[in-house]
Homo-oligomer: A and B are copies of this chain.
Amino acid sequence: MIAFLSDFGPGSPYVGQVHAVIELLSGGKVKVVDLAHDIPSFSIHAGAYILYSSLRLFKRGTVFLVVVDPGVGSNREPIAVQTRNYFFVGPNNGVLWPVIERDGFVKAVILDNDRFWLKPTSYTFHGRDIFAPAATMLALGVDIESLGSPLSIDRLVQLDIRRVREVDDGYCLDVIHIDKFGNVALSATREDTILENVCVDGHTIICIRNDCIRAKCVKTFSEAKPGELTVYYNSFDFVELAVYMGSAAEKLSITGGDEICMKRPRV
């Protein structure tokens, strides 16, 4: 099975053409689950976060086709990676790094065996012409080593989606994803025990740029009143800001790339 993640936009012809290629090359034998296609354009962090958080929902042997690829056609390498339980196909730009680190690197190749490329091969759509064929081959059981030249782990581009910067009275985190409801995911997981540290009497202070606002520490946003800002571990196990029946991103004017600081309230 292939799990397909991209920033192509839902319902876009790029998504459709990738499906068509997998269908064509596999003779309809490979099933595709669309993991997400609403990743903001070029957002490697958001793609890496969704992939990292979804891994455990897929059975051993699943091939992840990951196309968040702002550098398509440049010298960033198209790669395939085998980890302990999965295969990953995508650009060597960091988007695959967190899952490789998490699941355990086994081996990797550069997809330079053009025998497997779709012909004619475009310069701007490697998702369709190089990545989709490679993912299809892996899903059909083709040996990863036949897809190209070996690549050692130290040549993989790294990416940190769990960046935690310690400051006086708390921590600063990156915005790594904003969902359709305006919920804002931040760069720390339950394992980083941030909320345990910054919540006092069920509240914390959220600062963005120079504005600070009180937020309620909850298990789920519906513990709050409509309009109230909350913070909790989301269903992907990351720290998240939300407004019950509203949009945290709008309320705080947050956009991707912002840094959010969380501080212990003075009591």
Chain A residues engaging chain B, CB cutoff 8 angstroms: 1, 3, 5, 8-17, 19-21, 23-24, 28, 31, 33-38, 41-42, 50, 53-54, 57-59, 70-74, 122-125, 128-129, 179-181, 219-223, 232, 234-235, 245
Contact = CB atoms under 8 A, between A and B. Distances in A.
A54 B17 CA distance: 7
11 contacts: A3-B20, A5-B16, A10-B12, A11-B15, A12-B180, A13-B36, A17-B57, A20-B57, A74-B222, A123-B235, A124-B220
Given A128-B235, A180-B12, A219-B73, A33 B19 contact: yes
Contacts of A21: 57
B41 A12 contact: no
B180 A57 contact: no
Contact of A222 (B19, B72, B181, B222): B72
Given A42-B245, A221-B124, A222-B74, A36 B24 contact: no
B41 A33 contact: no
Contact of A8 (B12, B72, B180, B220): B180
B11 A36 contact: yes
The DSSP consensus for interface residues of chain A is: loop
A201 to B, nearest CB: 20
A3 B23 CA distance: 11
Contacts of A33: 16, 19-20, 23
A98 to B, nearest CB: 15
Contacts of A128: 57, 235
Contacts of A219: 73, 123
B220 A123 contact: yes
A50 B122 CA distance: 16
Contacts of A220: 72-74, 123-124
B9 A124 contact: no
Contacts of A234: 122, 124-125
A122 B181 contact: no
A1 to B, nearest CB: 7
A227 to B, nearest CB: 13
A94 to B, nearest CB: 16
A24 B59 CA distance: 6
